[in-house]
């Protein structure tokens, strides 16, 4: 898969950064070169303690906007361990090393370059989450015969085995003729590497339309489509549509054209077999979708659209999913949002929305009862009460479950954490509220 590379350090302002980066983020990770201020602006969990040294070129770049990984580069073999050590305050799960490699030497049959590189990767596997191999080559070398390409693939596969299955592994083509090289030539290479489980880093735009831009960028949308497989006679791709919490909304089909249209518009766009054309979800029903993420499965023959669903839901029967209504916390959120807008007279939920003091007191009361519950039924019941009142508070403030999960994900990435001790003044304040109720 293509890992889109974006140099955001030249962006004049943060608002100028998003139009360039956001459409790419629905396809895959973003390999973004960010300045130190941008690192702090885009994430609450920026890597701490990492500074620019002789061992780390240009300090730190981020592999995606959530800063799930810090990318450290070393141009010399002896400095790789030093680069990893310099990032010791960043968990190993968030450190990726970029290693320059001579592509021709790596693919040479009589060379031990692959074995040496694999040995190096194995030594570093416990202190990093992955490796980006910067394959230094020429434009002419990218047009080599199939047998030479096969040799390079075999070498990369050998190096890949030096890492765990979950490790991040990618290659980056560093072409000598950088300014004149037509990166459209990378599309078949991207597809071939993807089918072997290898990602490719390349400068990219979501969908390249201007002919003048084509030599400088890889069309990320077409790269995504090139990685797909279909065994259907009509060439369509089975597509699962899910919401931001991973709940399946329905099963549809996509074509190459519909995938490109979805990326370009940032909406849920599919292929209608009955109409034999594009199906822009919500165009007639009003239940539109905002595209959040595109993924392929492990065999590259099924696509997943992660969307923000609006309106009554995905199904034509006006239910959220094609398998009927959704229960649990998701249903609770939907019900509370509905009650906030319109509730019958005598509704307790509506009363809570109108009386913030009552809501605060109930939150404290139910939290105490949960803390004191002992049996499984009691803990489950009190936890359900806490969730109900907590969700009322969230809906009243315009906060969604997705917002909460996003904060949890970011906190999981934090390098340094507070001790987590209880706050005496908060306990006293809660006690005062409970005393008033007695």
Topology of domain 237-309, per CATH?
A: Ubiquitin-like (UB roll) (3.10.20)
**How far apart are the C-alpha atoms of 72 and 83, rounded to whole Å?**
7
| Closest CA relative to residue 97, chosen from 35, 169, 33, 200 | 169
168-175/199-205 β-pairing? parallel
Q: Is 428 exposed, middle or buried (0-12, 13-18, 19+ CB in 10 A)?
A: exposed
Element (H, E) at 122: helix 113-124
Tokens of 206: 């979501």
pLDDT for position 160: 86
- In this prediction the pTM is 0.69
Half-sphere exposure for 332 (CA within 13 Å, toward CB): 17
302-309/70-73 β-pairing? unpaired
| CATH for the 328-435 domain, from 1.10.3720.10, 3.30.930.10, 1.10.287.1080, 3.10.450.50 | 1.10.287.1080
Angle, in degrees to the nearest 10, between helices 376-396 and 328-341: 40
pLDDT for position 408: 82
Tokens of 132: 């980006």
β strands within 176-296, DSSP E: 199-205, 218-219, 237-242, 248-254, 269-272, 277-280, 289-296
**How far apart are the C-alpha atoms of 59 and 223, rounded to whole Å?**
29
pLDDT 10s digit of each residue in the chain, 438 long?
677 666 555 444 555 555 556 667 777 666 655 554 544 444 333 333 333 333 333 333 443 333 344 455 544 455 555 555 554 555 666 677 778 888 888 888 777 888 888 887 887 777 677 888 888 888 777 766 566 678 888 888 888 888 887 888 888 888 876 667 777 778 888 888 888 888 888 777 666 555 666 566 777 888 889 889 999 999 999 999 999 888 899 999 999 999 999 988 889 999 999 999 999 998 888 889 999 889 899 889 999 999 988 888 899 888 889 998 778 888 888 889 888 988 888 889 999 999 999 999 999 999 999 999 999 999 999 999 999 999 999 999 999 988 888 788 777 655 555 667 777 777 777 777 777 765
**How far apart are the C-alpha atoms of 141 and 138, rounded to whole Å?**
5
Tokens of 421: 């001790």
350, 343 contact by CB (below 8 A)? yes
């Amino acid at each position: 898969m293509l890992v889109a590379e974006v140099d955001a350090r030249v962006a004049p302002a943060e608002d100028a950064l998003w139009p360039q980066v956001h459409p790419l983020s629905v396809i895959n990770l973003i390999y973004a070169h960010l300045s130190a201020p941008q690192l702090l602006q885009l994430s609450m969990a920026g890597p701490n303690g990492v500074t620019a040294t002789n061992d780390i070129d240009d300090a730190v770049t981020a592999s995606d906007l959530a800063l799930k990984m810090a990318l450290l580069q070393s141009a010399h073999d002896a400095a790789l361990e030093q680069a990893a050590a310099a990032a010791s305050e960043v968990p190993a799960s968030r450190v990726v090393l970029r290693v320059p490699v001579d592509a021709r030497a790596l693919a040479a049959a009589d060379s031990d370059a692959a074995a040496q590189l694999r040995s190096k990767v194995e030594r570093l596997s416990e202190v990093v989450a992955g490796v980006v191999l910067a394959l230094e080559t020429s434009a002419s070398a990218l047009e080599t015969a199939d047998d030479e390409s096969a040799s390079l693939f075999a070498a990369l596969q050998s190096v890949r085995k030096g890492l765990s299955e979950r490790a991040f592994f990618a290659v980056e083509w560093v072409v000598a003729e950088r300014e004149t090289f037509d990166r459209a030539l990378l599309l078949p290479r991207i597809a071939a590497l993807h089918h072997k489980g290898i990602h490719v880093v390349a400068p990219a735009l979501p969908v390249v339309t201007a002919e003048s831009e084509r030599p400088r960028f890889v069309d990320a949308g077409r790269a995504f489509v090139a990685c797909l497989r279909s065994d259907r006679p009509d060439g369509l791709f089975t597509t699962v549509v899910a919401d931001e919490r991973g709940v399946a909304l329905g099963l549809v089909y996509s074509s190459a054209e519909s995938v490109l249209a979805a990326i370009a518009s940032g909406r849920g766009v599919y292929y209608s077999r009955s109409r034999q054309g594009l199906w822009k979800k919500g165009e007639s029903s009003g239940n539109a979708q905002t595209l959040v993420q595109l993924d392929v499965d492990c065999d590259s023959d099924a696509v997943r659209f992660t969307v923000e669903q609006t309106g009554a839901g995905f199904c034509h029967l006006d239910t959220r999913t094609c398998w009927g209504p959704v229960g649990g916390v998701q249903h609770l959120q939907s019900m509370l949002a509905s009650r906030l807008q319109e509730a019958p007279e005598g509704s307790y939920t509506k009363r809570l929305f109108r009386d913030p003091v009552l809501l605060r007191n109930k939150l404290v009361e139910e939290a105490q009862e949960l803390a004191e519950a002992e049996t499984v039924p009691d803990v489950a019941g009190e936890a359900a009460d806490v969730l109900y009142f907590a969700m009322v508070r969230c809906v009243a403030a315009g906060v969604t479950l997705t917002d909460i999960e996003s904060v949890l994900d970011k906190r999981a990435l934090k390098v340094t954490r507070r001790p987590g001790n209880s706050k005496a003044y908060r306990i006293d304040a809660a006690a005062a509220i409970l005393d008033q109720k007695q």
